[in-house]
Homo-oligomer: A and B are copies of this chain.
Amino acid sequence: MTRRVPASTARRLSHYLRSLEDLESEGGETVSSEELAERGQTTAAQVRKDLSHFGSFGKRGLGYRVDELREQLRQILGVDRVWRVALIGAGRIGSALFEYPAFESRGYECVAIVDSDPKKVGTRWGGLTIRPPEELESLIAGLGVELVILAVPAQAAQDIATRAVNAGVKGILNFAPIRLKVVAAVAVEDVNLVMQLEALSFSITQLGSEA
């Protein structure tokens, strides 16, 4: 149980959790670091190191109990509870996300939708009414929103992000193609499809031009 967790750990933990859920539905009782590694495209040593940052969950000679480890991982990842989310920007991306089944089923509850288009404000999505941007702060404070999904154009993103953070938001899933400047206490995850497409064409181009 050492502290000092590498930044890349979260993605792997998330993957282990998914594997454990699969194993459980397959009826597995225990699992070894070896088997988790195989499913997660990593190494057994990496699995053990990742877990060791948070405690000792396995039994030597036996492996890990699937249900126990799954529960531990849910706690570590902070998904053993419901997160209240506001969706900012009710465009294509926003709508795709809003109807994304894994979203609600995994404990992320959308409690507010905001859009700056007067034609959209007032219309209903599911059980929610789209609100205007002026209400951003009061919605966040009033509904106890902790996460924001930022799906607005690039020029509006930084301003909205700053306001959301000042209103008390703890994390931002950012779809705008800019690097947001926020205080260190706020977590930001960027989803940047252009960047990922360019990473693809880069890999292909570079792989192709090797001896």
Query: In the complex, A103→B40 CA distance in Å?
Result: 30
Interface size band for A: 35 or more
Is B83's CB under 8 angstroms from A92's CB? no
B191 touches A191 (CB 8 A): yes
> Is there contact, CB below 8 Å, between A199 and B14?
yes
Residues on B with C-beta less than 8 A from A143 are none
Contact code string A176-211 (vs B, CB < 8 Å = 1, else 0): 010100000101010101111111111111110000
Chain A interface, >50% SS class: helix
Q: Which residues of A contact B (CB under 8 A)?
A: 5, 10-11, 13-15, 17-18, 39-41, 76-79, 83, 92-93, 95-97, 99-100, 102-103, 106, 108, 146-147, 170-173, 177, 179, 185, 187, 189, 191, 193-207
